[in-house]
Structure 1
């Protein structure tokens, strides 16, 4: 049985998720900022991180990546379509906002390519390419555990913005309909911001998905 802990980090309260197993190993999803806060939590819970997984490379999801991977000597995963984004403020968006520094991070250690199964130290998940919010957005589904990490693709009652670099509302809606709403109706979807939801709830009440 996996445990999932949520932390709200940085100026726009991005959800960082820490998923741990019985062996006290963990995966870190979207460490947006406040590396010291994440490290303090890991130490308190006596967790050993084995990888960082990014749903996409916008600034509010990547700020603590370099600090964490250098401290713990772990790889960072990112879709290949955003290979250059970590090091370029004009792509990751940090150059657009004065509330954060210009992020020029090291390249991702492992690039994801398309939809496939991924296993890291016994953590098994399906990776879905869900572009639209950004070209390399991905969602990570832990089917046996009944939850998925969906980044900024879908929110409770809303959808991701598409006015940033290479965003596309058409692709976003297709990603949601083809990859997320086809998941089991009561699967818990953990978004990049705000509270969790389910496919059933969004089919029923999300105004952006009607018609």
Structure 2
């Protein structure tokens, strides 16, 4: 089976990482955290021959969801034209309230109110298979109550959103955040993964689980 690859677009006022995963040589892709201008995300992927098979949300803050509706609408229009099924967005079930509240997801304060939804709300440990790729949902509350990471075990890839960064962790001063909960999530849920697991965070450059276990000052 062809290797799973991951690409990145850095988007929006917060320089948020929007990832797309695909099998080498294949045309279907999974998009994670459509940060802004969803129609543009769709156009960029389509120009490179990709079809969006699904959208994963690590959490519901404005800088990770501003592009969701535009991307979903464009992907669904293309799928419908080709006789395909709906393109769905996935999020952890505990994030439902935050996604639909412009105050809680901080979009109101950021100057562009956004209220949206996931088509499918998932649980900790649930497996999602899209475009021939399977990931496991790892609930990592702390940055938000419903924050989660997506672990592609086959590829040794963890998409961590704003839970874990290179030598840092997500902020916890927004609604539903808790630093104690976040640190426990990182230590108990992520640091148990293989040390060579490559971590792709919501902002900044990638790192590894092993490196963070040894060097992350928030999780000593």
- Which TM-score band applies after superposition, normalised by the shorter structure? over 0.9
Q: Which residue of 2 aligns with 1:81?
A: 94
**Aligned 1:164-179 pairs, distance under 5 A:** 164-179=174-189
> 1:190 & 1:133 partners in 2: Cα distance?
16
Which has the higher mean CA deviation after the structures are superposed, 31-40 or 160-169? Answer: 31-40
Give the counterpart of 1:6 among 8, 21, 41: 8
> 1:71 & 1:40 partners in 2: Cα distance?
9
1:51 and 2:54 aligned: yes
Which has the higher mean CA deviation after the structures are superposed, 131-140 or 14-23? Answer: 14-23
Q: CA deviation at 1:86?
A: 2.5
In the alignment of these two chains, the number of paired residues is 207
Q: Which residue of 1 aligns with 2:84?
A: none
> 1:45 & 1:151 partners in 2: Cα distance?
25
1:115 and 2:125 aligned: yes
TM superposition score normalised by structure 2: 0.90
> 2:158 & 2:46 partners in 1: Cα distance?
25
Q: Which residue of 2 aligns with 1:28?
A: 31
**Aligned 1:122-161 pairs, distance under 5 A:** 122-161=132-171
Displacement over 6 Å in runs of 4+ = none
Q: Which runs of 5+ in 2 are unaligned?
A: 77-86
Q: RMSD across aligned C-alpha pairs, in angstroms?
A: 1.2
The DSSP-based 3-state class of the residue aligned with 1:90 is coil
Give the counterpart of 2:20 among 18, 21, 33: 18
> 2:149 & 2:120 partners in 1: Cα distance?
16
The DSSP-based 3-state class of the residue aligned with 1:96 is coil
The DSSP-based 3-state class of the residue aligned with 2:150 is strand
Over residues 138-158 of structure 1, what are the superposed CA-to-partner deviations in whole Å (9 max), with x where a residue is unaligned? 100111111110000010011
> 1:187 & 1:121 partners in 2: Cα distance?
21
> 2:47 & 2:129 partners in 1: Cα distance?
26
The DSSP-based 3-state class of the residue aligned with 1:190 is strand
Q: Which runs of 5+ in 1 are unaligned?
A: none
The DSSP-based 3-state class of the residue aligned with 1:92 is coil
Q: Which residue of 2 aligns with 1:66?
A: 69
Over residues 152-182 of structure 1, what are the superposed CA-to-partner deviations in whole Å (9 max), with x where a residue is unaligned? 0010011111111111111111110111111
